Amino acid sequence: MESQKKFRSVLLFGPPGVGKGTQGAILGSVPGFFHLSVGDVFRSIDIGSDDGQEVYRYSSQGQLVPDELTVKIWKKALHAYEALTRYKPREDILILDGIPRNVAQTELVKDHLEILQVINLQCSDEEEMIHRMRRRAIRENRADDANEDVIRNRFKVFREKSSAVLECYPSEIISTVNANGSPAEVLKRILDAVVPVQNKHFRENV
Ligand code: ADP
């Protein structure tokens, strides 16, 4: 990764189970968007490696993985996708999912990113999110979704550490999006917010 290059990004933000992964994956399938989920990157690491062991130690308890390790792994994954030309920074908006997740991480990533917009996904019903995570536990065999205590701990971590991330960005770039309803309904709301930003910053590609 070149040191001065800043990746133009949209941050998908919100509590566990709100639909960041689902929406990010759909958006990432549209030309002009590239979605990278830190959670997915973590789950793809060889659990037998030192990094894999360290990641599992925290994520299986619903704790945040240490910041330096998180950012190191995230940068490596991004760089790999760029090298493979799956992610083309001049053409694609980077959809950030799962990073930054606390105030320290906003500092660690800020030299790499130009955050154009924050999509703040809000779901009024915590029980609905827990229900979604339970379904995901079965579908995706996720250890951190299977246990009620771990799920509750992730909400606690979100409230105590992650929610402050929003205060690091100017309110003009924060779009609050209602995350209740079907994936298609939520997608429509996200597109309504994101497409004008894409048109503004990637005019040459539209
Ligand atoms: P969710 O959004 O449902 O919490 P993710 O797939 O984004 O799920 O993350 C799963 C787990 O991976 C988190 O609970 C946490 O342990 C770890 N993790 C993901 N992103 C980060 C991050 N930026 N910093 C530290 N830990 C992270």
Q: How far is the CA of 137 from the centre of ligand 1 (A)?
A: 14
Distance in angstroms (rounded) separating the CA atoms of residues 74 and 106: 13
Q: Which residue has its alpha carbon closest to ligand 1 atom 23?
A: 99
What's this model's pTM, rounded to 2 decimal places?
0.92
pLDDT number for residue 144: 85
Ligand 1 pocket list (CB less than 6 A): 16-17, 20, 38-39, 42, 58-59, 62-65, 70, 98-99, 101, 105, 144, 154
- In a 3-state reduction of DSSP, which class is residue 2? coil
Query: From the centroid of its chain, how far is CA 39?
Result: 8
Locate 19 and state its tokens: 């639909």
CA distances from 153 to 122, 125, 146 (A): 19, 17, 12
Q: Where are the domains of the chain?
A: 7-37+90-205
Q: How far is the CA of 75 from the centre of ligand 1 (A)?
A: 15
CATH code, 7-37+90-205: 3.40.50.300
- In a 3-state reduction of DSSP, which class is residue 3? coil
pLDDT number for residue 204: 62
Mean pLDDT in order along the chain per 10 residues (206 residues): 77 95 96 96 96 96 97 97 97 97 98 97 89 88 86 94 97 97 96 96 70
Sign of the C-alpha dihedral, residues 162, 167, 169, 171?
positive
Q: How far is the CA of 34 from the centre of ligand 1 (A)?
A: 19
- H runs (alpha helix) in the chain: 20-28, 38-44, 50-59, 67-83, 103-109, 126-140, 143-146, 148-157, 183-201
pLDDT number for residue 172: 97
